[in-house]
Amino acid sequence: MININLTDENIQNLELFADIVQKDKESMINEALEEYFISKQKKILEKSIEDENALTNLSYDEFWDDIEI
C-alpha cells in the first residue's frame, strides 16, 4: 500500500468530480495515473526519436563531403 498526500485543491476537485461523473475516487485516481503514464511514455519515445534523428541526420554537405564519384 502506498501513502499518497494530495493537496487540498486536488482533494476538493476529486470529491467534486466523483459526484459529477458518478465514479469512485480510487477509479478516478487510477484512470488519471494511467493517462499520465501513457503521456509520459509518448514523450519519452518522441524524445528518443528526436535524439536518434539528431545523431543520424547529416546535412547535404556533410553527406557528400567524403563521397568520391
The set of cell numbers assigned to 37 is 503514464
Identify the helix (H) or strand (E) that includes residue 50.
helix 25-56
Q: What is the pLDDT of residue 56?
A: 67
Q: What is the pLDDT of residue 67?
A: 72
4-55: per-residue pLDDT in tens?
A: 999 999 999 999 999 999 999 999 999 999 999 999 999 999 998 888 777 7
Q: What is the pLDDT of residue 18?
A: 97
Q: What's the whole-model pTM score? A: 0.67
Q: What is the pLDDT of residue 33?
A: 96
| Local structure of residue 6 (DSSP, 8 states) | P
Identify the helix (H) or strand (E) that includes residue 13.
helix 8-21
Identity (one letter) of the amino acid at 40?
Answer: K
Contacts 24+ apart (CB under 8 A), 49-55: none
Give the domain ranges of the chain.
Answer: 8-65
Q: What is the pLDDT of residue 1?
A: 85
